[in-house]
Structure 1
């Protein structure tokens, strides 16, 4: 997703490339790649060139360079390249085509390519592609918003470290889920913060619209913040993914929901449809974080947890 850059840094091309080359000794299987998505290479040169363009067009860049955060820009650019391939793969699987007039009009409504790409990792040459991806994800969301149901076993804990560790344990040994559910703390109202066979729909649980519950295949274990304040974390084993009938009054919900929430949900649907794509990031940039759909410096910086038990991998 497009992430607003609050502070950027303007540096010379030679200096940027020197930073980019450092640490490139260990790369994915194909030389010269920033990442490989489903066997398709994202070239180092593409990411480097886009990073230079972003740095040149943003006015407040010196501060980021001074703070040693230049690599964050290239990670945002790479994440955009990866997300585009996820959206493109999902569109092909679902037979979605986008009206180019809609793409053009949406960009023009924001002031044209240069204005629309300000304060982001986009530029005048990529903003139309990004808008096309947004429209694809919007259509994916509308197709699933009122008819998708997942069945989960889950429990909640307060500590993110505990949530990730227990999620990893369940991934290694799914039988541990039952014990963790029994041991889950109670809510402030005294209710058990856990359940088995819980049926979840976005229309009934809008606070979960952006979560990985919708972006993974059955058999996957996920952990993520259960609320915006991150006061509690949910660990869930997704057991089923079902198509259900929309409830009365929900037929036009896709047209009434906040477009940003619609795009967030659509991204999760795209991730589910692209679950068969292996994503391998050059260690120079870090690792892919599916929870935030971005690239982070190390596995420990991921915003959540996504794991597939070994038994399911073999099936």
Structure 2
């Protein structure tokens, strides 16, 4: 099977907040209906509480509890959509696939303890990790099947190259920042006469405290990372030369150390991977949209409303609005709490 790249998969793990949900039909109310499946209010409450049980997660995610609750409910719904879409496409993953991906995560972050800590900070308890990794692997396998015949054209590669030229044309530079032109011109003469003195002069004269003690080193940078006046001088100068530029910060003596330009041919493998990844994301999102439309999703307005375009739960403009039941159900069949009567019920109390 095709394996997801480590960094991309790990990023996916970071955003897959705890999303376990109960499949049982309870009478405590539904947070959402996805086809004939129910995500109960109690299941959602437990997920949110567990997601905020880690102190760092509580600090980062708990500040806006409503938003976190909507995000969590989105994950719960999308899990059902993913399972259904994969089943329709005949895509399956095994326990060995999941175990192999976990081992890749372990190797990337530097050990199981580090992985467990990152998972907890994202709201995933260690015992729940295999289930969440399964979601990642399943989505990757589905994307691979959906895009197995996709070909990236030369025109697409050229367009991507031009859009990202800043990362393929970079200059390493250093500078000395002073307040007036006279000082800048004086320093320019000195570094042109003896380039080896640049670092010492930066330490003595530069007002840029962030790098003066490092010889004024700015490292590699592409276009768009400096103010226009600085950038114009930087990218028009030849490596090994020194120039002066005036910006809103003052006068700069700029030393251009080297320039790295990656050609389209050299960048093609990287660009092709990026284009394919974008295609995978686009196609997968389209399939999830189609699956959501087919199953029909009903969200309790107490928790938000369903945004079909972005396949997520968002804040409801009218939390008191009446919710239409899913197709095939009547008012008597909708679980208690799904259609609020008057004011929406208060959120359940947080666990002690």
Q: TM-score, normalised by structure 1?
A: 0.47
Taking CA–CA contacts closer than 8 Å with sequence separation of 6 or more, which of the two structures ends up with the larger relative contact order?
Answer: 1
Structure that is richer in helix per residue: 2
Instruction: Report the structure number with the largest CA radius of gyration.
Output: 2
TM-score by length of 2: 0.42
